[in-house]
Amino acid sequence: MIEALEEKLGHSFRNISLLKSALHHSSIKRYALQFERLEFLGDRILGTVIAEFIFDKFNVEEGTMAKMFSAFVCADSCKQVALKLGLDKHLVTAGNHLRTNETVLADTMESVLGAVFIDGGYDPAKAVIIRCWNDIFSCYDDVNYDPKTTLQEVCQRETGVAPQYEIISVTGQDHSPTFTVSASIGSERVTASGSSRKKAETLAAKLLLQKLSDR
């Protein structure tokens, strides 16, 4: 079963005892020291990787970066990833009820990340985090991240000019239209399509932000 967890993590341990230690919760006193040390380390590695990811992928203000960081590293996000990996099925605790405890699952996720770092170093730990947090990134993007507002902030800060949106075409049936719009700032221009003008503009803003960050 431990091999299945390695596969989900995307990391094959050279020292499998590290992973086993990470899965023995501190509620069992003889394992407390090692678990808590790995958790401490994993928490710091997660924070570093997430901060680097946000800096590289999103050309946004510090305040927005801080909100995104908090969402990505919070206990709920760690718990979601832990459940997706099935850590609750591998976790050894002083009581079975602890396997569904949000704090315990979040702490275990960080402990596992600490074990990956000790076993392989920063780059493998980063690869595991980016891989395992992908759904968290996507969910935040869909629910909380507003590309149009962010693009407005970036353009006002860097050029003092607001981005321009233009409807290029509307195709399809009246009950199921497809809007194609452009978003531009200066010489930079992208196009995107969506089932509504709002969706098309949101996607265009996201694409333009990505283009600006790649310059």
Asked whether residue 124 falls in the same domain as residue 160, the answer is no
- The verdict on 54 and 138 lying in the same domain is yes
pLDDT value, residue 143: 55
pTM score: 0.71
Task: Encode pLDDT of 102-111 as tens digits.
Answer: 899 999 999 9
User: Which one from 39, 43, 88, 119 is the annotated catalytic residue?
Assistant: 43
Q: For residues 39, 103, 25 and 90, what is the CA-based torsion angle, rounded to 10 degrees?
A: -100
**Residues 156 and 198 placed together within one structural domain of the fold:** yes
Q: What is the pLDDT of residues 25-38, one digit of tens each?
A: 999 999 999 999 99
- CATH number of 33's domain: 1.10.1520.10
Structural domain including 191 reads: 147-213
7 in active site: no
Comparison of pLDDT for 30 and 157, the residue scoring more: 30
| pLDDT score at 199 | 86
| Domain stop point among 117, 143, 169 | 143
- The answer on 136 and 72 residing in a single domain is yes
Q: What integer best gives the mean pLDDT of the chain?
A: 90
Provide the domain count of the chain. Answer: 2
- 39, 88, 107, 110: the active-site residue: 110
| 165, 187: one domain | yes
Please give the Cα distance from 108 to 89 (Å, whole number). 12
21 with 46, same domain: the answer is: yes
Q: Is 174 a catalytic residue?
A: no
pLDDT above 90 (res 52): yes
